[in-house]
């Protein structure tokens, strides 16, 4: 019996090259393994159109894999695609190792990174949904393991294989997350009522979103968010107030990073978190400009946003890590409203990204002159709380305001509109 809690994790990586571009994908799999605390001993790939339905690899390559297992004595085999129950079962019968696929590895990393109550619930929900669909194939593997890679997280103490038990736990988790979602919706509605402009950082994992969040907000009295040079360093959404150069205060949120083939179990479980993007007025798409895969990473982010139905969102393209050795020409996107070159590490480009956010923010506002009767004191309070006041004066029939307003405030004050005096 393997007890991964007390044994060094050593793995072989296995992948199928169906498009001639397996190198980058396998490098990323190695980074994922490293993030999970796994030492990679070697890798094996096979060029074929699609994985074998029975054993992922073809028969000859399975024999070659067996030779590598004898040579390196790994306790984990990590496959670069999502395995079917039959593949899990057949591979577990053939190899006395922990069989892990890309999805299970990412779920494991999320379990390591989840700190908030919501994050832990979301990860456990994704883990159980994944395992529920594969109980028939993973039964032997799960009974063999004592814990560790692929089994850690909120559900690691005892993962029941009884379907009824798991369904019951899934229902409880979904109900708990519904309550959290209600609370999050209440907070969002409060922010919307206040008319606060909202921007959200989004991008490929380890592109530097959290570093940009700290660069923009920590000098304004905000607590810094956790930053590390690793994949999925942070999971929990963080929201900070940010004062723009012109004095307007907005909200800036940092969300979970994307990755190629982000498991749909995670997307579904993290729906409430990802909805921060839906309520944002502008997205800041962060790209690691120094990465050799920057174009591919940008396309993954845009494709994921499309899948989440956020394809009509305005966004600023933030090319980060320009302090490194960056190859020209730089990536571009015709969908971006503006493009900013910056370095969260050195601070170069900070003024540029703030100016870009302010430009988009101001473009969503308009100038409005209103006369509020003295009897409508609630409207005067609303203006002071939600509008940018250019001029205020007390006239015979009421209080005159010249304002900069967003669309919501403009609609609310339309009945008081007057020609400038």
pLDDT in tens, 162-199: 677 788 888 898 888 888 778 777 766 666 655 678 89
pLDDT at 2 over 50: no
pLDDT at 320 over 70: yes
For the chain, helix (H) and strand (E) counts, in that order, are: 14, 13
Mean pLDDT in residue range 271-282: 75
CA distances from 135 to 88, 89, 161 (A): 10, 10, 7
Helix residue ranges, H only, 97-205: 102-113, 117-132, 135-144, 163-194
pLDDT at 143 over 50: no
Which residues 6+ apart lie within 8 Å of 312 measured at CB? none
φ and ψ of 366, to 5 deg: -145, 165
Binned at pLDDT 50, 70 and 90, residue 277 comes out as: confident
Q: Which residues of 208-234 are buried (b: 16+ CB within 10 A; e: fewer)?
A: bbbbbbbbbbeeeebeebebeeebbbb
d(C-alpha 264, C-alpha 126), whole Å? 9
Query: Nearest CA to 235 among 101, 344, 116, 320?
Result: 116
Q: Which one has a higher pLDDT value, 271 or 381?
A: 381
Contact, 97 vs 76, CB < 8 A? yes
Q: Which one has a higher pLDDT value, 126 or 142?
A: 126
Query: Nearest CA to 201 among 238, 167, 163?
Result: 238
Q: Which one has a higher pLDDT value, 62 or 409?
A: 62
Mean pLDDT in residue range 102-131: 84
pLDDT at 159: 44
Mean pLDDT in residue range 55-69: 96
pLDDT at 297: 93
pTM of the model: 0.75
pLDDT at 335 over 70: yes
Mean pLDDT in residue range 336-356: 96
pLDDT at 193: 58
pLDDT at 295 over 70: yes
- Average predicted confidence (pLDDT) for the chain: 84
Bond before 376 cis per omega within 30 degrees? no
276: which 2 tokens? 């921060």
Binned at pLDDT 50, 70 and 90, residue 373 comes out as: very high
Domain 1-195's class?
alpha beta
370: which 2 tokens? 């209103």
Which residues 6+ apart lie within 8 Å of 329 measured at CB? none
d(C-alpha 298, C-alpha 118), whole Å? 28
107: which 2 tokens? 């779920």
Q: Which one has a higher pLDDT value, 312 or 36?
A: 36
pLDDT at 139 over 70: no
d(C-alpha 101, C-alpha 10), whole Å? 15
pLDDT at 156 over 50: no
pLDDT at 20: 80
pLDDT at 188: 64
Instruction: Flag the least confident range among 19-28, 78-87, 303-312, 410-419.
Output: 303-312
Q: What is the pLDDT of residues 94-113, one digit of tens each?
A: 999 999 999 889 988 888 87
SS3 content of the chain, % helix, strand, coil (to 5): 45, 20, 35
pLDDT at 146: 44
Mean pLDDT in residue range 22-44: 92
Mean pLDDT in residue range 351-372: 90
Q: What is the pLDDT of residues 229-260, one digit of tens each?
A: 777 776 667 889 999 998 888 899 888 788 88
pLDDT at 312: 80
Contact, 330 vs 319, CB < 8 A? yes
Contact, 270 vs 219, CB < 8 A? no
pLDDT at 259: 86
Bridge partners, residue 44, by sequence: 14
pLDDT at 128: 85
Mean pLDDT in residue range 328-339: 92
Domain boundaries, the chain: 1-195, 196-363, 366-416
The fraction of the chain above a pLDDT of 90, given in percent, is 46
Domain 196-363's class?
alpha beta
pLDDT at 1 over 90: no
Query: Nearest CA to 261 among 210, 318, 204?
Result: 204
Choose the most confident range, by mean pLDDT, from 23-32, 216-225, 308-317: 23-32
């Amino acid at each position: 019996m393997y007890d991964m809690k007390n044994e060094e994790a050593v793995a072989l990586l296995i992948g199928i090259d169906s498009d001639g571009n397996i190198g980058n994908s396998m490098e990323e799999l190695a980074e994922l393994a490293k993030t999970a605390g796994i030492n990679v001993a070697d890798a094996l790939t096979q060029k074929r159109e699609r994985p074998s339905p029975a054993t992922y690899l073809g028969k000859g390559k399975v024999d070659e894999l067996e030779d590598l297992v004898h040579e390196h004595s790994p306790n984990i085999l990590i496959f670069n695609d999502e395995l079917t129950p039959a593949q899990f079962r057949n591979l577990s019968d053939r190899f006395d190792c922990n069989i892990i696929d890309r999805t299970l590895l990412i779920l494991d990393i999320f379990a390591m990174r989840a700190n908030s109550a919501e994050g832990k619930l979301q990860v456990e929900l994704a883990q159980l949904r994944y395992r529920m669909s594969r109980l028939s194939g993973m039964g032997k593997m799960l009974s063999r393991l004592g814990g560790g890679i692929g089994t850690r997280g909120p559900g690691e103490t005892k993962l029941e294989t009884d379907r009824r038990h798991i369904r019951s736990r899934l229902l409880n988790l979904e109900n708990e997350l519904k309550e959290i979602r209600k609370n999050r919706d209440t907070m969002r509605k409060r922010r919307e009522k206040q008319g606060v402009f909202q921007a959200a950082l989004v991008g490929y994992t380890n592109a530097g979103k959290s570093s940009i969040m700290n660069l923009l907000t920590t000098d304004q009295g905000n607590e810094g968010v956790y930053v590390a040079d690793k994949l999925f360093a942070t999971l929990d959404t963080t929201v900070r107030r940010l004062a723009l150069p012109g004095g307007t205060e907005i909200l800036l949120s940092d969300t979970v990073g994307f990755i190629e083939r982000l498991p749909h179990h995670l997307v579904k479980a993290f729906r409430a978190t990802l909805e921060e993007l839906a309520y944002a007025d502008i997205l800041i798409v962060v790209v690691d400009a120094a990465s050799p895969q920057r174009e591919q990473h940008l396309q993954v982010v845009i494709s994921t946003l499309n899948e989440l139905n956020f394809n009509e969102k305005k966004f600023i393209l933030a090319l980060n890590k320009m302090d490194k050795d960056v190859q020209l020409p730089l990536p571009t996107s015709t969908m971006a409203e503006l493009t900013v070159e910056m370095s969260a590490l050195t601070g170069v480009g900070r003024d540029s990204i703030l100016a870009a956010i302010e430009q988009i923010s101001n473009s969503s506002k308009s100038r409005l002159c209103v006369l509020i009767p003295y009897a409508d004191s609630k409207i005067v309070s609303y203006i002071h709380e939600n509008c940018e006041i250019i001029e205020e004066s007390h006239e015979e029939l009421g209080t005159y305001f010249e304002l900069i307003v967003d669309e919501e405030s403009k609609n609310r004050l339309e009945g008081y509109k007057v020609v400038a005096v």
